[in-house]
Structure formats: C-alpha cells, structure tokens
Structure 1
Amino acid sequence: MTNLAEPATEAPDKPTRRGSLRPLLLRMHFYLGVFVGPFLFVAALTGLLYIFTPQLERVIYADELTVPIGETKQPLADQIAAAQRALPDATLVRIRPGATDDASTQVIFSRPDLASSHWLTAYVDPYTSSVRGTLETYGSSQAGPLRTWLDELHRSLHLGDIGRLYSELAASWLWIVVLGGLILWWGRRRGKKQATGRRRLLGWHATTGTWVAAVLIFLSATGLTWSQYGGETVADLREALSWETPTLPSTASEHSGHSSGSSGSGSSVGADQVLNVARSAGLDGPIELTVPSAPGKAYVVKQIQNAWPSKQDSMSIDPDTGQILATLKFDDYPLAAKLTRWGIDAHMGILFGLPNQIVLALVCLSLMAMIIWGYRMWWHRRPTRTESGFGRPFPRGAWRTVPRPLLAGLITAGALLAWYLPVLGVSLAGFLLIDLLLGRRAQAKA
C-alpha cells in the first residue's frame, strides 16, 4: 500500500515522543512511495496487459489453435511427419495432442537460432494431418507471440537482464511498502474531522490498500521466484529445505540403443502406442509427450493441466517395449513444491481461470489507483505557493525515536534482507545516500 502521506490528524513537523516507531515508518514510507512508486505502477500496468492474453490468443491465433471437427483422427505419427515436413531444419522435442475435439495437435521443435526457452510449434489438424500454421512459442506454457511479447514487457521491458532489475526492484519492495502502510493505517489516530482533500484521498488509498494487501504480498513473494538475483536465493532456500519439485527419471532400458529425438515414430512402439499406454494408465486431460533426446532415453509423458484441480502426474515409457518405467504423481510432491506450482499459476492468472484473472485485474487497477492517489497526496504536502519545491518529506532523525532493542532488530533484519535480496539492498543503500545528501544540503542552506 503505497501511502505517500501522513494522516491529517498528525502534524508532520510536531516533535514525537521517544519509544515510537511511527515517525520512522512515515519517513520510510514516504521515500519508498516516491521512488519505488513508478516501478510498481509499470509492473501493475504491464501485468494488467498480460492477464487476459490466453483469451486474446484464442482469438488472434484461432486458425492455428482450432480446427473443424471431423470424424476420425489420423495417427499421431502421421501428424508428426507432416509437421517435420513443414519444419525440416528443426529438431522434434515434444508433442501436445489436442485436448478437445476442435483443438489442433501442437508439434514442438527446437532450432539453434532460437533464444532460450523458445520453440517452433507446428499446429496440425488431427483429422487431416495438414499443418494449419507455425508460430514461435515460449516456455512450458507454449505462449504464442502476443503473450510472449507482453510477458517480456512485464518481466524486463524488453531490455534484457538490465530490464529485469525493474521488476525485481518492484517485487522486492512491494511487500515492505504494503506492510508498512498497513501498520501506519491501523495505528493511526482516529478522528471525526470532515473528510476533504488530502484526508479523503488518504481514506481511499488506505481502504483500497487494506482490501488488496494480501494479494499484493502474494504477488510480491511469487514475483521474487522469477527474479534474477532474489530468485537465486529462493532456489537455494528450496534446495536446502528439500522443497524442490521432484523429477522423473528419463532413462530407458539398456537395449534402447536406437532411440533418438529425430522422430516420434522411429522407435519400436512409436508415439501412438506411447500415448495409448499413458491414457490407459490414467493420464487423462491435456498431456505432453517429450520424445527421447538421445539413445537410452525414454519418452516422458506428463499431464499439463495447471488449472484447479492441478493435474501434473507424469511417467516415463520405454520407447522399445512400451513399458512404463516410472511414475511420478502430483499427490506425492512435497507440500512446498505444490505451493510453488499453485503460486506460480495463480500469479499468472490460470489456476482458477476467469475468477483468478478478474481478481488480478482488480488488484492491478487498485495498485495503480493507490499510487496515483499517493502522488496526489504528496502534491498536497508541497510548500506554500510562494515557495518552490514539491511535497515535503517527513522530518529527518525519526530513527532516534525508535526504542534501541527494536532499532537493533530492524537494522539486523535490514542487513539480512539486503544480503539475500541484493536489488533491495543496493536500492536501500541508494535511498540512504540520497537522504544523507539531502540532509547535508539542508544543513548547508541553514
């Protein structure tokens, strides 16, 4: 909750008794709102643009994603062969049979000239084995060009690793700003003065922030898992606590020496039998077949339903015998791995479908409105019309009012956060340096 103004019931320049944390929170909240607010606004705006991209893609890429319903589906091997003819210079990686009668089969290829996690996908009519089109797709979600472009806009503003610092800065500070705003609002001095001007803005800002605080903290935490530097800390923590998502062995039997990833039908059993084995074993719903990548490797078949209830069971199948070699059920995942999966899917707006998307859209709009109200309150705090300058910060030296044990705890916590969240640490040092320079300039003018 980016509260940039102090409750009107308190005079900002009035001396505050010792033993109070509020003056320090007010000053920190002010600076965080002023300097981090633009980054949060951009993250909320780009996130809002991304939320409904699955529906947009179904409209924009309807020719590729949907097909006229026919009578009999062709063998999967024939569909793969048609896709390989359309993309002869690419290497087959995965196949996604259509999950509904009107869905195309997605045959996914890699190619050396593609960026990391980017693929070429051929969309094949399962009734005629004709290729309806090809698109460059991204990630495990098979995002199309539109969703990929907006995802990169939200993640890095299309500026590469340097651009990713903006989203990490926003995710690193969002939860701190929200918690600080909640403490300030709940601990305010309540009065019955008429709600006009700045007080009315403050009421809108704080009430809205209270309603969406839990979702904002959730988005901050899950956003950090994708961040460039903080994400490494999250990954190390998950590894140390054995919270990693389990993986399925993909090694086939010793005699599977001729299997390769060049074709979905070049092994003894072929993709069709692998699909039938997986379906017979209970892998229903949308699934994905990963073809053997080298001799001795197995097919890996995985459910890919991320919507609730999640279906993420997987199994490895011998490409020569069609025997199931290993099975990994989502129910057997560690709780932390399940929470990570659900958290990522909820952050992307796909866990609960349209209700999930609507909630995220409302939260993004709320955050943008709170930032605008916050800057408006900052403007209300500007000096008199005869003076120059913008809104005044809260008085310097607020840390002196904090009890020593609490201050020591805050410094320790700040140091630990700065160490494990480097972008937060560097920006915190920048805020302190700016504050110090402003203080020196004020002393020089006095």
Structure 2
Amino acid sequence: MSRRTEEIPQNDHDPTGTAQGEPDGDRPDGLAKPAVATAEGPVAAADGPGSDRQRPARSWEAVRHLLVRLHFYAGVLVAPFLLVAALTGLAYTFTPQLDQLLYGDQLRVERVGDAPRPLAEQIAAARAAYPEGTVASVVTPPDPEDTTRVVLAVPELGEKQRTVFVDPYTAEVRGELTTWFGSTPLTTWLDDLHRNLNLGETGRLYSEVAASWLGVTVLGGLVLWLGRSRGQRAKSARGALLPDRKARGVRRTRSWHAATGVWLALALLFLSATGLTWSNYAGERFGRLLDAVNGTAPALDTALPGAEAPVEDHSDHAGHGGGEATADADPADFDAALTAARDAGLGGTVVVTPAADAASAWTVAQNDNVWPVHYDRVAVDASSGEITSRTYWADHPALSKLSKLGVQGHMGVLFGVVNQIVLGLVALGLTTVIVWGYRMWWQRRPTRDDRRALVGRAPERGAWRRLPLPVLVLGIPAVIALGWALPVLGVTLAGFLVVDVVAGAVRRHRTA
C-alpha cells in the first residue's frame, strides 16, 4: 500500500474533504485512488495509457458520488448568486423601519381625536397642493397614527405614481413621494436590487438562477449530510443538528456548514419556492399551472347592472394605486364608496379605486397583509351606495391562497416584526453557510511541497456511469421534467454538463 493510502484517516465518518495540511489534494474526498477492489467494483491503480482499468460495477454509492459533485459545482458556481440574494434580501427585509427613518414626516402623524376628516376634504387638500394628473386611488391609514395616501396617476411618471400623504385628522398635506405599487423610493430601489440588481429584465435572470438552484443545493446537502454511513455520530439526531466541536480543519468547517444548513433547510426551501412563483420563466410555468387547475383568485365583476360593456377587475395590485383614471371622480363619491364597503363588513385599511368608466362600479379592497390577512373586495355603485359584486378571501382556491401568503411571507410582512427577524436570521445563516463552503474548498487544497494549489480539486468524474439502472430510468425523465418546469435551472445545468465534459476531455488529453 502506498504512503498516501496509509495516511488516510480510517475513523473519518465523512468521505468528503481532508483536513487542512493533509498530504493528498488530488481528490476532494482526501482519498488516493484505490488499488484494490471497492464497493463500485475492481479498479486499476492508474488511469494512464496502457492500464488495464476495468469499469466499476453499478452501485448505489455512485448516487452519493454524483450528488457530491453536483453539490460542489452548485456551491462553487451558484453560491455568488445566492450570496447577493441573501445580502440584498436582508436589506429589503427591514425596509419598513428604514422607511420610517427616511420618510417619517410623510408617513406618520399625531393622533388627534377619534374621527378622521371625510375623504373628500383630504382629497381636495391633496389636489390643491398637487393638481397634476388624476386621482387613481385612495388608501386609508393602516394605523391611527398613519397618513392617508392619495395616489395620483401622472403621465410623466410612466408606471410609477405620485402619492400625496395627508393628515387624516387635519387634512394637512404632509408631503409627496414618487411611488411604485405603493412602495417608497427606498423600498422600490431595494426591491429592484434584490430582484434584478437594478438592471431591468435582464438582471432578473440572476435572482431566478439563485431561486432555482437554492432548493436543489439544499436538498442535495441534506441527503449528503443525513445519509452519511460511517461513524456513530452520523446516526444520531445530535450528530445531524449540532456541529462536531472535536473535529479539526476541514471536518470542523464542514460540520458547521452542514449543521447550520439543516437548521435553515425549511426556510431556504420556502424562499426558493416562493421566489420562483413570481420569477420570469418558472413564474410563467406556475401561472399556467394555476390556470390549469383553476387556482387563480376569483375576479371581481365591476360591471354595473344593465351595462352594455361589462369590465372585469384585474387589479390585484389595485391596493398599490396603479389605476389610470382619465378624469377626476367626484371626491364625495370616495366617501360614499367607503361607507358602503364599511357597512358591508370591510374593516381595516382599504383601497378605494374610482370606476374606470360610466358602465363600471367602484372597487373597495381590503389591503391587510399581516396575519390574519384580510383581502375581501366589493364593487360599489357610488351613486346609490349599492354593493353590486363581492369576492371573499375565504373563497379563494387553496393554491391562490398559498401563493399570496407565500409572497407576503417572503417579503417579511405576513407576521410583522417576527417575520422580519426570522428572514434576517435566515439571510445571515445562508451567508455564513456560503462562506464556510468556500473555506472548505480552500482548506482542501494540496499542501505538499511538490503539489500545491490555491483550492481543492473537484470531486471525481464519471459517477453517472456507475449509477444503478433504476436511477437512470427514473432520474433522466425527472431531470428533463424539472428542467422544463424550471427553465433557468435546466439551461444552467446543461451548461454545467458541457463545461464538465470539456474539462474532462482537456484533462484526458493532457494525461495522454
């Protein structure tokens, strides 16, 4: 047996990685190529020309080897995207507090009495200060110390709006901001940074790459860590959930990396799934699924009785003031629509949107995103105060509810401050897991005088050739289906395979 083989630690329960300073760096599992029969079958000691190497027998252990290689490449190549997503998401999570610091004068007021002024007075004050554009919607204060938001559609702003903030008790205008679907300039900027790095539609590919591979990386890491076969520690819950403090070098780093990943797994899978629902390509596939199973939110019929041209309301974002009214509605009609909605049971903060035309009703929609959420909507004939149509949150299909709640949880608003704290901890945890992953790569570098490198080498190639036939028969169609459902994942995986094949060909050429 060679010197390198003799130096292999025999009591290591994890076959991936060597401790810093160990002699072998050829393989990231720290093992020299075996010159004896292994679980995969007889293997010759050399790969060079003239060797009588025999193909190893198919083995379930090859599944683990393939996962190790996939997890390694995903960690090295996709981790930068995940790191950016974690840090930008961490910044976005605390936008409510940042908004209060920057825009507190516009957002908050001192409560004076119990009864706010009529909406007509508040709208009149906003229009006197800012006569440009038309009133697209009015958002009532979420809390007694919040301002009323009069949202103006201004053609020069494009898809953005001008939101005027009015003291509900005095009808005093507190200021205005250019908003996007109700978000302040800071929140809009951080939202774009997290979604597309402020690069527009092209930049959205980064976040979809991160969301697509996050789930794959987490699941692969769980299988590798929980499926370890060596050592009693691997068989205990404590060994899976807590790092091994007795370990040293790369094994210690790996135990912190893996144990932290186990604790974060459910949250990371949730963020991956919810992030994909509104991504470019996977989100479009998800929309098709909702349509196919009738899982979309019910539409509110805004056609007035007897109208010739019924109009469906598609304003799921109506709560953010994205309307495009062509002329200002009578401010008194806002109070009439609000009174009718309150009488119909719509409590909390609501968004009052004027009718699109004479044949359509006004809409009043609850906009309470904190659990328990309230998303009932009514269509109101402002002239008579009659409710012409209504949709209930309780009647939304299950998939529609899960999608809506998942988005709110992903944004950190569903459970208030608790939601923010959890997301902040998850973002910090993911950051540390990524840093530990790169540290392991560095720790596995060769350190012998005659064989040095900056980082460790990738896991061995060719594990797919040793996969059991059932895995190939079921796995290939499953990967193709996953690539169709998550197109960015499929394309990048194909790219990894091409790079891997080219790298293998170059290495064989150099060896020959």
Q: What TM-score range do you get, normalising by the shorter chain?
A: over 0.9
- Among 191, 212, 219, the alignment partner of 1:179 is 219
Q: Tell me which residue corresponds to 2:200.
A: 160
Question: In 1, are the aligned partners of 2:336 and 2:382 still within 8 Å (CA)?
Answer: no
Structure 2 residue corresponding to 1:313, chosen from 376, 382, 389: 376
Do the aligned partners of 1:256 and 1:320 also contact (CA within 8 Å) in 2? Answer: no
Query: Partner of 1:289 in structure 2?
Result: 352
Q: Residue 126 of structure 2 aligns with which residue?
A: 83
CA-to-aligned-CA distance 1:36-95 (integer Å, 9 cap, x gap): 010011001100011011122123211111123234532211211222233322121110
Q: CA RMSD in A?
A: 2.1
AA aligned opposite 2:292: A
Which amino acid in structure 1 is aligned with residue 491 of structure 2?
V
> Alpha-carbon deviations, 1:290-339, whole Å to 9, x = none?
11122211111011111100111110001221100011111111111111
- Partner of residue 6 from structure 1, selected from 12, 16, 23: 16
Aligned to 2:189: 149
Q: Name the structure 2 match of 1:226.
A: 278
Matches within 5 A, 1:427-438: 427-438=492-503
- Counterparts of 1:247-258 in structure 2, within 5 Å, are 247-254=299-306
Q: State the distance in 1 between where 2:494 and 2:352 align.
A: 49
Following TM superposition, the consecutive aligned residue runs of length 4 or more in structure 1 with deviations greater than 6 angstroms are none
Shift of 1:445: 1.0
**Which residue does 1:274 correspond to in 2?**
337
What does residue 361 of structure 2 align with? 298
Residue 395 (structure 1) aligned to one of 455, 460, 469: 460
In the TM superposition, what whole-angstrom CA distance separates every residue of 1:196-225 from its partner, at most 9, and x where no partner exists?
Answer: 111111111111111110110110000001
Q: Distance in 1 between matches of 2:143 and 2:190?
A: 27
Contact in 2 for aligned 1:92/1:108 (Cα 8 Å): yes
| Residues 1:138 and 1:297: Cα distance change in structure 2 (over 3 Å) | same
Query: How far did 1:30 drift?
Result: 0.7
Alpha-carbon distance, 1:388 to partner: 3.5
Shift of 1:123: 0.4
Distance 1:306 1:252 in 2: 29
Gaps of 5+ in 1: none
Tell me which moved more, 48-57 or 69-78.
69-78
Aligned partners of 2:112, 2:227: CA distance in 1, in Å?
65
Q: Is the 8 A contact 1:261 1:292 kept in 2?
A: no
User: Alpha-carbon deviations, 1:153-203, whole Å to 9, x = none?
Assistant: 000000111110000000011101110000000111333794111111111
Q: State the Cα distance separating 1:130 from its structure 2 match.
A: 2.2
In structure 2, the residue matched to 1:19 is 59
1:197 to 233, 249, 274: 249
Q: What TM-score does the superposition give when structure 1 sets the normalisation length? A: 0.93
Query: 2:23 matched to which residue of 1?
Result: none
For residue 261 of structure 1, report the CA deviation from its aligned partner: 5.7
Deviation at 1:115, TM superposition (A): 4.3
Cross-structure match for 1:58: 100
Q: 1:390 offset after TM fit, Å? A: 2.4
Between the aligned partners of 2:500 and 2:86, the Cα distance in structure 1 is 27
Shift of 1:229: 1.0
Deviations 1:4-35 (A, max 9, x none): x9266964555652322101001111111100
Look up the SS of the partner of 1:252 in the other structure: coil
Cα distance in 1 for partners of 2:131, 2:158 equals 19
Distance in 2 (CA, whole Å) between partners of 1:351 and 1:46 is: 19
For structure 1, which segment, 285-294 or 64-73, has the greater mean C-alpha deviation from structure 2 after superposition?
A: 64-73
Q: Distance in 1 between matches of 2:202 and 2:349?
A: 36
CA, structure 1 residues 255+425, in 2 after alignment: closer, same or farther (shift >3 Å)?
closer
Instruction: Work out the CA distance in 2 between the residues paired with 1:312 and 1:438.
Output: 54
**Structure 1 stretch displaced more, 57-66 or 214-223:** 57-66
**Cα distance, 1:408 vs. partner?**
2.6
Task: Supply the distance in 1 between the matched residues of 2:370 and 2:142 (Cα, whole angstroms).
Answer: 14
Give the C-alpha shift of residue 383 in structure 1.
Answer: 2.6
Kept in 2, the 8 Å contact 1:7–1:188? The answer is no
Q: Would you say how many aligned residue pairs link Structure 1 and Structure 2?
A: 436
Counterpart CA distance in 2 for 1:424 and 1:67 is 48
SS in structure 2 at match of 1:307: coil
> Partners in 2 of 1:256 and 1:415 — Cα distance?
49
Q: Answer with 1 or 2: which has the greater Rg.
A: 2
State the match for 2:116 in structure 1: 73
2:146 is matched with which residue? 103
* CA offsets 1:101-131 (integer angstroms, 9 cap, x no match): 3221101122223343x22100011222221
CA distance in 2, matches of 1:288, 1:261: 18
Secondary structure of 2:59's aligned partner: coil
Say whether the 8 Å CA contact 2:352–2:364 is kept in structure 1: yes
Indicate the SS of the match to 1:123: strand
Equivalent residue, structure 1, for 2:44: none
Q: What is the rounded CA distance, in whole Å, between the counterparts of 2:156 and 2:494 in structure 1? A: 41
Question: Are residues 1:353 and 2:416 paired?
Answer: yes
> Which residue identity does 1:217 align to in structure 2?
L
Aligned residue for 1:239?
Answer: 291
SS in 1 for 2:299: coil
Task: Determine the structure 1 residue equivalent to 2:509.
Answer: 444
- Does residue 265 of structure 1 match 2:308? no
CA distance in 2, matches of 1:63, 1:379: 50
2:73 to 18, 31, 43: 31
